[in-house]
Amino acid sequence: MKLYIKYMVSLRCKLLVKEELTKLGINPVFVDLGMVEVPGQISQQDHDTLRDNLLRSGLELLDDKKSILIERIKNVITEMIHYSDEIPTQNYSDYLSEKLDYDYTYLSNIFSEVKGITIQHFIIINKIERAKELLLYDELNLTEISYKLHYSSVAHLSNQFKKITGLTPSFFKKLKKARNQNLENI
């Protein structure tokens, strides 16, 4: 049986879900971002207990098919941008269709209907968040970040960065340095 969990986006979340299942005497077969596979069916009582325990930790057990699909889309995008060193060389629509085994038009329509933004805009937001992380780590320059995130140029990344954050990447980086200097002066 597969269980889908909302807000499960990190290794810590995966460990927490595994721990909650173990407390119920259920050994998961597979635990991934947003999804857990358990052997056989689980009782309604265990299902309710798991739901309550996950809610206390900020996670939500999903039952609605649309919500499950939306979480799967978000998790594939999050995994692709934040946790993979290699962003797929094929376009995002083909990648999502292949990963989720649905037509992209269907995925796009459902996502837009439920979330109020397009999948493409959600991808851009995630890429900019990843760019902000990489800028703060200060290990890669802007050219390397734009290459890593598959932007056609530094200018393209900079334009999207400014459109989403209101700041240029270099100004964003300067803010971090200024903040660190202020902390050192305290």
pTM: 0.74
Q: Where are the domains of the chain?
A: 1-63, 121-184
Domain 121-184, classified CATH 3.40.50.1820, yes or no: no
Domain 1-63, classified CATH 3.90.1150.10, yes or no: no
| pLDDT over 90, % of the chain | 58
Cβ partners under 8 Å of residue 83, min gap 6: 33
Matching CATH topology for 1-63 and 121-184? no
| pLDDT, tens digit, 9 for 90 and up, residues 113-169 | 989 999 999 999 999 999 999 998 888 899 999 988 989 999 999 999 999 999 999
